[in-house]
Amino acid sequence: MNSQIKKGILDLCVLALLEQGDSYGYDLAGSLARKVEVADGTVYPILRKLASEGVVSTYLQESQNGPPRKYYHLTDSGRRKLNSDREEWLKFCGEVNEILERGETGGKADE
Amino acid sequence: MRYLSEEKLEGKPMNKTEYLNRLSNELGHMPYGDVKDIMQSIEEHFDAGVSEGRSEAEIAESLGDPKELANEFKDGAKFNQIMKRRKKVDGGRDGTGRIFVVVFNIFVGVGMWLVLLAAIIAALCILGVDLGIIGVIVASMIMGKITEFIVPFIFLLLTLICVAIFLVILLILGIKYYGKGLKAYIRWNRHVWNYGLGED
């Protein structure tokens, strides 16, 4: 997939992952990289950006083994952003799919 | 694919320390606190992976090229700075602040400080001459060479002593504020150099 398109949508993916509950960097990196073809590191600059925008907050929590981990939490403004961006994205995807599928069946844009 | 941009390290696995060093080098002149924060996150990522039984080399490879990662962090930082309307990157990047500092110093700054320095040196010279004349008059009086016009000479002497005291006070204050002013001026220059010309 085109990296420019991917870049723009990854913020939204990270917000959506956090909607399912607070999580730490390694876990988020894994969840993201399993679904989309990106390097594990990609999630960290995104998390930093989201945190500075205030849509994500951070706190430290003890882990069973090793030093405490930094956890990320979706804030209220993050939830609002996620909902509006998701709606916009799904609408856009629907429109694009409509065009692409019509192309596939060989039909032109006429009804 | 991840090492394509690095001929030297193409396909060569890195351990945690090597990866962190590379990343920290690539981050370049980001503020120290930010670099530290990023390093902590990536180190935590390594530790979490190792505790799951993965090797450092494996984790390093899946993290992606440190140079690319550093660039993504830098892009994010740039974005933040625009959001916060901070001038640092702009001042540093577009160079207007630096050009201003250089031009201002060539035409105004350095000249002004040299003129002030010359004034202080001149005052020192006048003080020296003044003290010299006082010395000559006092010596002449003691040796009894001045027999006539004693009263006018005493008046002249008093005047010269007053001038000397005035000059000493002026020089003490002058040197003190010259130092302070120069320090503030250098600080201001450094600020413009780093942050550009801005409101703050």
pLDDT in tens, B94-129: 677 778 778 888 888 888 888 888 988 998 898 999
Please answer whether residues A44 and B73 qualify as being in contact, where contact means their C-beta atoms are separated by less than 8 angstroms: yes
Domain boundaries, position A20: 3-104
CA B125 → CA A19, B166, B167, B176, distances in Å? 78, 14, 10, 18
The torsion of the CA quartet B9, B15, B18, B24, rounded to 10 degrees, works out to 110
Q: Which residue of A has its CA nearest to B81?
A: A52
Smallest Cβ–Cβ distance between A45 and the set B44, B65, B73 belongs to B73
Instruction: Tell me the pTM.
Output: 0.56
What is d(CA A43, CA A46) in angstroms, rounded to the nearest whole number? 5
- CB spacing of A25 vs B83 below 8 angstroms: no
In B, which residues are within 8 Å of A70 by CB distance?
40-41, 44
Q: How far is A24 from chain B (nearest CA, A)?
A: 9
In degrees rounded to 5, what are phi and psi of residue A24?
Answer: -110, 165
Q: How far is B64 from chain A (nearest CA, A)?
A: 5
Place of tokens 């993201």: A32
Regarding predicted confidence, which is higher, A39 or B7? Answer: A39
Q: How much is the pLDDT for A72?
A: 95
- Quick: pLDDT tens for B145-190: 777 777 777 888 888 888 889 989 989 988 888 888 888 888 888 7
Is the Cβ of B99 closer than 8 Å to some Cβ of chain A?
no
Residue A111 lies in a domain: no
Number of domains within chain A: 1
Is the Cβ of B70 closer than 8 Å to some Cβ of chain A?
no
What is d(CA A50, CA A52) in angstroms, rounded to the nearest whole number? 5
Q: What CATH number does the domain containing A64 carry?
A: 1.10.10.10
In A, which residues are within 8 Å of B65 by CB distance?
39
Is the Cβ of B27 closer than 8 Å to some Cβ of chain A?
no
The predicted complex's ipTM stands at 0.83
